[in-house]
């Protein structure tokens, strides 16, 4: 990395020139950096808004899963079988599924090599278990904090190798240049927060041949979210320069605690806690699920099943399925404005309308599981302590004592299956821009639990390989770079001046903008989607985007990152809502992890109101056969394109031919 100072539009701005700028410091970015370094491309730098922030380092669950090809004993698996299972989730391109499958063992063993403690037996067999949407037991886990352990191992290695990390650098704009007919990324602009804190402008330029974008999921667009508070996302960076987004309608939502953000899957549900709701002041306690279920056995079994049917799924709503609980929690919290809690201190009571809880009434699967685990006794907390003590301790570490207090919950946004489009080397339609990790929307409608972490590792490895082989040139001379970006830099400076020249009295406008974005997404663009309200929500999102570009002001330079983040999140939520409108206009119904209300459909259960009617997509319907792509064109208008789903490639695998191509470097 070469550092210099550029005289540009009358200002002196620090500039770093590198072959590859890696944005973000989550598991995907760190892997990209290590893979580049390891394959000989050492002219790299990581710029991150805060070292240690993001989902990988801060999120987890009961047993956080990593999905990989089966590698144990007699289990028969192959890359094609795994690709077929990824592909069968719907709306996922087959060649991408094949890449994620084909490279999964490589990525997994790389993590083992870095010291991530995935468990194995005495013969070295990495045993797996079945996760959701997984027929073959491909899941593995290093415990509740798998992705944190991945972060820790890779972060240590990044430090050991001396890879430059520019901490507290928030990237606010990607710089581009049109070369022939293609838009290329050629660098980025950051705000150095340490400079801002010292009262200086803190603009920093990056002159880069390649940009690896590992900025994670769009956690910041939701009010009700189990993304860590530090993970807001930056999809707007790429969308605003015309990067294609795909499957933006597809995300995962599920039950999580909100005081301390944590997924309530696995044993947290399998011990069958009591669900209660109260008014806003904690009064008027009710076991609100009772009135909707026909008997105690059905209710207790549905709660148990939430353990491994964690994401909300409209296919699991009817017939008193586990996802009916998410609908009822939503009704309680959002529609009725009450609070919902899990109580581990006592068993379900039936509240007078159902029988009292008893193990004998459970469905066979639930009964057997609890019997095998030796916990057919006591209260939920006693069962939880017996089955998974660390799960109890984890809450204690965050000052929540499940032995004494109720745990407040909601249906939260957790993961984005869609995101930016990449090719088989994870390069976007913007040349030299490689979205990796969650910001890359490689998944389709359903994905096996744990495949997000696999995709992040495989994608960053593929991007690093391609960059090393094809895009290894040194960055251009600073003078050439300055000329190419002076107009874009001037636009940024003009905007920064507008934000800060007449400082705001306070930051209420910034805060209310963020609240408006998050409120709108959680109300209209999350797991319950109402065709009657979605267009209005979309229009208001675009109105807000136009308004904040004109009216947003900051009270001090230190607030600039927050203002730019608002701009990014506002654009992101408008584009996401537009994708949902387009989906519904094309007769898209409930699927994946969201429910589209539909007068012509059926009620989720007998006792819910008429307004809850919904239906699932018919097999072979238009939206199931295509993938929705959206992008901003050069006039900044949103365009939508339904593309065919590419099948899994079935190519010749004759060793001598592949070897010949490989030796001739012909396989790209």
Q: Does 53 bind ligand FAD (CB under 6 A)?
A: yes
Q: Does 206 bind ligand FAD (CB under 6 A)?
A: no
Q: Does 215 bind ligand FAD (CB under 6 A)?
A: yes
Nearest of 203, 56, 222, 164 to residue 569 by alpha carbon: 222
Q: How far is the CB of 170 from ligand FAD (least distance, A)?
A: 5
229 vs 618, beta carbon nearer ligand FAD? 229
Q: Does 311 bind ligand FAD (CB under 6 A)?
A: no
Q: Report the residue from 148, 415, 462, 589 that binds ligand FAD according to the rule CB under 6 A.
A: 415
Q: How far is the CB of 39 from ligand FAD (least distance, A)?
A: 19
Q: Which stretch in 37-45, 214-222, 489-497, 570-578 sits in contact with ligand FAD by CB under 6 A?
A: 214-222
User: What is the distance between the alpha carbons of residues 184 and 608, in angstroms, rounded to a whole number?
Assistant: 52
User: What is the distance between the alpha carbons of residues 459 and 170, in angstroms, rounded to a whole number?
Assistant: 23
Q: Report the residue from 20, 70, 234, 468 that binds ligand FAD according to the rule CB under 6 A.
A: 234
Q: How far is the CB of 297 from ligand FAD (least distance, A)?
A: 30
Is residue 510 within 8 A of residue 559, CB to CB? The reply is yes
Q: Does 24 bind ligand FAD (CB under 6 A)?
A: yes
Q: Does 617 bind ligand FAD (CB under 6 A)?
A: no
- Residue-by-residue DSSP string for 285-335: -B-TTGGGSSSHHHHHHHHHHHTTS-S--GGGTTTT-TTHHHHHHHIIIII
Q: How many CA atoms lie within 13 A of 192 on its CB side?
A: 17
How far does CA 256 lie from the centroid of its chain?
A: 15
Q: Does 309 bind ligand FAD (CB under 6 A)?
A: no
254 vs 350, beta carbon nearer ligand FAD? 254
CA triple 269-272-278, angle to 5 deg: 90
Q: Does 216 bind ligand FAD (CB under 6 A)?
A: yes
Q: Report the residue from 17, 19, 64, 140 that binds ligand FAD according to the rule CB under 6 A.
A: 64
Q: Report the residue from 27, 196, 238, 632 that binds ligand FAD according to the rule CB under 6 A.
A: 27
Nearest of 135, 141, 412, 152 to residue 262 by alpha carbon: 412
Q: Does 231 bind ligand FAD (CB under 6 A)?
A: yes
Q: How many CA atoms lie within 13 A of 414 on its CB side?
A: 28
Q: How far is the CB of 365 from ligand FAD (least distance, A)?
A: 22
Q: Which stretch in 176-184, 215-223, 496-504, 642-650 sits in contact with ligand FAD by CB under 6 A?
A: 215-223
Q: Report the residue from 1, 13, 19, 26 that binds ligand FAD according to the rule CB under 6 A.
A: 26
Q: Does 55 bind ligand FAD (CB under 6 A)?
A: yes
166 vs 289, beta carbon nearer ligand FAD? 166
Q: Report the residue from 1, 15, 23, 482 that binds ligand FAD according to the rule CB under 6 A.
A: 23
CA triple 147-148-153, angle to 5 deg: 95
215 vs 333, beta carbon nearer ligand FAD? 215
How far does CA 448 lie from the centroid of its chain?
A: 14
Q: Report the residue from 61, 70, 110, 257 that binds ligand FAD according to the rule CB under 6 A.
A: 61
Q: How far is the CB of 616 from ligand FAD (least distance, A)?
A: 25
For 600, phi and psi rounded to 5 degrees?
-80, 0
Is residue 19 within 8 A of residue 476, CB to CB? The reply is no
| Helices and strands: H and E segment counts in the chain | 21, 22
CB atoms within 10 A of CB 497: 11
User: What is the distance between the alpha carbons of residues 436 and 25, in angstroms, rounded to a whole number?
Assistant: 11
Q: How far is the CB of 475 from ligand FAD (least distance, A)?
A: 19
Q: Does 438 bind ligand FAD (CB under 6 A)?
A: yes
Q: How many CA atoms lie within 13 A of 198 on its CB side?
A: 7
For 588, phi and psi rounded to 5 degrees?
-70, 130
User: What is the distance between the alpha carbons of residues 109 and 31, in angstroms, rounded to a whole number?
Assistant: 13
What Å distances lie between residue 481 and 487, 665, 668, CA to CA? 11, 30, 28
297 vs 449, beta carbon nearer ligand FAD? 449
149 vs 632, beta carbon nearer ligand FAD? 149
Q: Which stretch in 53-61, 312-320, 386-394, 575-583 sits in contact with ligand FAD by CB under 6 A?
A: 53-61
**Total of chain residues touching ligand FAD, rule CB under 6 A:** 42
Q: Which stretch in 3-11, 51-59, 111-119, 474-482 sits in contact with ligand FAD by CB under 6 A?
A: 51-59
User: What is the distance between the alpha carbons of residues 294 and 476, in angstroms, rounded to a whole number?
Assistant: 70
Q: Does 379 bind ligand FAD (CB under 6 A)?
A: no
Q: Does 226 bind ligand FAD (CB under 6 A)?
A: yes
Q: How far is the CB of 660 from ligand FAD (least distance, A)?
A: 36
98 vs 171, beta carbon nearer ligand FAD? 171
Beta bridge partners of 419: 246
Read off the tokens for 410.
């909601």
Residues in 515-544 at the binding interface with ligand FAD, rule: CB under 6 A: none
Residues in 159-178 at the binding interface with ligand FAD, rule: CB under 6 A: 170-171
Q: Which residue has the tokens 């301390």?
A: 260
Could you give the angle at which helices 364-372 and 296-306 cross, rounded to 10 degrees? 60
Residues in 638-657 at the binding interface with ligand FAD, rule: CB under 6 A: none
Residues in 315-344 at the binding interface with ligand FAD, rule: CB under 6 A: none
Q: Torsion over CA of 30, 32, 33 and 36, rounded to 10 degrees?
A: 160
176 vs 231, beta carbon nearer ligand FAD? 231
User: What is the distance between the alpha carbons of residues 250 and 417, in angstroms, rounded to a whole number?
Assistant: 5
User: What is the distance between the alpha carbons of residues 30 and 588, in angstroms, rounded to a whole number?
Assistant: 37
Q: Which stretch in 43-51, 426-434, 526-534, 540-548 sits in contact with ligand FAD by CB under 6 A?
A: 43-51
Q: Does 192 bind ligand FAD (CB under 6 A)?
A: no
Q: Report the residue from 41, 104, 110, 147 that binds ligand FAD according to the rule CB under 6 A.
A: 147
Q: Does 193 bind ligand FAD (CB under 6 A)?
A: no
Q: Report the residue from 107, 209, 402, 452 that binds ligand FAD according to the rule CB under 6 A.
A: 452
Q: Does 32 bind ligand FAD (CB under 6 A)?
A: no
Residues 6+ apart with CB under 8 A from 132: 308, 309, 310, 311, 448, 449
CB atoms within 10 A of CB 651: 9
Q: How far is the CB of 227 from ligand FAD (least distance, A)?
A: 5
Residues that bind ligand FAD (CB under 6 A): 23-29, 47-50, 53-56, 59-61, 64-65, 147, 170-171, 214-217, 226-227, 231, 234, 263, 414-415, 437-438, 449-453, 456
């Amino acid at each position: 990395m070469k550092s210099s100072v550029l005289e540009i539009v009358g200002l002196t701005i620090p500039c770093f020139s590198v072959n590859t700028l890696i944005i973000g410091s989550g598991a995907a970015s760190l892997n990209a950096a290590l893979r580049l370094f390891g394959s000989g491309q050492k002219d790299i730098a990581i710029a991150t808004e805060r070292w240690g922030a993001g989902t990988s380092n801060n999120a987890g669950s009961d047993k956080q899963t990593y999905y990989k090809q089966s590698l144990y004993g007699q289990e028969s698996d192959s890359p094609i079988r795994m690709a077929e299972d990824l592909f069968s989730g719907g709306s996922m391109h087959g060649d991408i599924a094949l890449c994620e499958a084909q490279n999964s063992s490589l990525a997994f063993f790389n993590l083992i090599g870095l010291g991530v403690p995935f468990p194995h037996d005495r013969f070295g067999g990495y045993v797996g278990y079945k996760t959701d949407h997984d027929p073959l037991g491909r899941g593995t886990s290093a415990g509740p904090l798998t992705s944190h352990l991945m972060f820790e191992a890779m972060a240590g290695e990044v430090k050991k190798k001396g890879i430059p990390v520019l901490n507290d650098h928030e990237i606010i704009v990607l710089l581009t240049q049109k070369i022939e007919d293609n838009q290329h990324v050629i660098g980025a602009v950051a705000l150095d927060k340490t400079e801002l804190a010292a009262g200086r402008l803190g603009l920093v330029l990056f002159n880069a041949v390649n940009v690896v974008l590992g900025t994670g999921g769009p956690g910041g667009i939701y009010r009700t979210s189990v993304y860590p508070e530090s993970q807001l996302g930056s999809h707007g960076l790429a969308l605003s320069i015309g990067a294609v987004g795909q499957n933006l309608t597809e995300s995962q939502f599920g039950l999580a605690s909100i005081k301390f953000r944590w997924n309530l899957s696995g044993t947290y549900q399998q011990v069958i806690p009591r669900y209660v709701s109260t008014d806003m002041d904690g009064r008027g306690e009710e076991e609100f699920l009772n009135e909707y279920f026909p008997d105690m056995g059905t209710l207790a079994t549905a709660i148990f099943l939430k353990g491994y049917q964690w994401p909300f799924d409209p296919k699991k709503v009817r017939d008193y399925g586990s996802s009916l609980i998410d609908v009822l929690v939503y009704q309680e919290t959002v529609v009725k404005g009450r609070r919902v809690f899990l109580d581990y201190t006592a068993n379900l009571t039936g509240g007078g309308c159902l029988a009292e809880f008893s193990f004998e009434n459970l469905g066979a699967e639930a009964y057997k599981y609890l019997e095998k685990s030796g916990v057919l006794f006591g209260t939920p907390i006693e069962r939880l302590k017996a089955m998974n003590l660390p799960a109890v301790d984890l809450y204690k570490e965050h000052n929540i004592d499940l032995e004494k207090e109720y745990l407040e919950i909601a249906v939260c946004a957790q993961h984005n299956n869609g995101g930016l489009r990449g090719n088989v080397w994870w390069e976007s339609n913007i040349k030299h821009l490689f979205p990796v990790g969650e910001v890359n929307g490689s998944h389709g409608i359903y994905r096996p639990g744990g495949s997000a972490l696999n995709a992040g590792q495989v994608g960053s490895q593929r991007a690093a390989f391609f960059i090393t082989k094809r895009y290894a040139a040194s960055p251009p001379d600073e003078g050439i770079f300055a000329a190419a970006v002076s107009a874009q830099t001037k636009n940024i400076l003009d905007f920064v001046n507008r934000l800060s020249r007449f400082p705001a009295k306070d930051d209420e406008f910034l805060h209310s903008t963020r609240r408006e974005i998050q409120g709108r997404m959680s109300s209209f663009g999350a797991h319950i989607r109402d065709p009657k309200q979605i267009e209005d929500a979309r229009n208001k999102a675009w109105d807000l985007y136009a308004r904040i570009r004109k009216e947003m002001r900051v009270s001090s330079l230190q607030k600039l990152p927050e203002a730019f983040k608002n701009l990014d999140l506002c654009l992101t939520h408008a584009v996401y809502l537009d994708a949902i409108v387009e989906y519904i206009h094309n007769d898209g119904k409930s699927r994946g992890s969201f429910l589209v209300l539909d007068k012509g459909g059926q009620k989720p259960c007998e006792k819910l109101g008429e307004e809850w009617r919904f239906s699932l997509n018919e097999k072979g319907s238009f939206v199931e056969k295509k993938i929705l792509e959206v992008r901003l064109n050069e006039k900044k208008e949103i365009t939508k394109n339904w593309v065919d789903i590419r099948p899994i490639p079935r190519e010749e695998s004759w060793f001598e031919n592949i070897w010949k191509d490989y030796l001739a470097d012909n396989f790209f």
